[in-house]
């Protein structure tokens, strides 16, 4: 158990809908990362937050947005969902978000868009 929690574990929704994925980092970790894992794309970095501020952006679509709240939990919002958005979404946390720090991954949220 990494100490990172993600909810929900599974999510099934229809195209065009909007969903919110939630992540709570390990106690004491200030930085949160979001990743998308699909069969054909591997693990893709989406976005990183540190202590409430966006720090780095990866391959995140404009339909997706995220934020980190004062209590350090983070939410990833996915809107206008398409079939291709079906994937595992992982959240990871690290103590300070500096490059080279170990990232601890949560168990993931499996999103299925029908």
Q: Does residue 30 touch other proteins according to CB under 8 A?
A: no
Scanning 14-22, 53-61, 62-70, 71-79 for contacts with other proteins by CB under 8 A, the matching segment is: 53-61
Q: Does residue 107 touch other proteins according to CB under 8 A?
A: yes
Pairwise CA distance, residues 100 & 95, whole Å: 11
User: In 10 A of CB 21, how many CB atoms?
Assistant: 22
Q: CB within 8 A of 7, min separation 6: which ones?
A: 21, 22, 109
- Residue 51 Cβ vs other proteins, minimum distance, rounded to whole Å: 13
Residues that bind other proteins (CB under 8 A): 2, 4, 33, 41-45, 48, 55-56, 58, 90, 92, 97-100, 102-108
């Amino acid at each position: 158990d990494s100490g990172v929690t993600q909810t929900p574990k599974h999510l099934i929704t229809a195209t065009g809908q909007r969903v919110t994925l939630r992540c709570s980092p390990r106690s004491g970790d200030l930085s949160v990362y979001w990743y998308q894992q699909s069969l054909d794309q591997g693990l893709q970095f989406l976005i990183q937050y540190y202590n409430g501020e966006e720090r780095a952006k990866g391959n995140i679509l404009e339909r997706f947005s995220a934020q980190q709240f004062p209590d350090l939990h983070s939410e990833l919002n996915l809107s206008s969902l398409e079939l291709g958005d079906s994937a595992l979404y992982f959240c990871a946390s690290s103590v300070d978000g500096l490059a080279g720090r170990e990232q601890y991954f949560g168990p993931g949220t499996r999103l299925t868009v029908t």
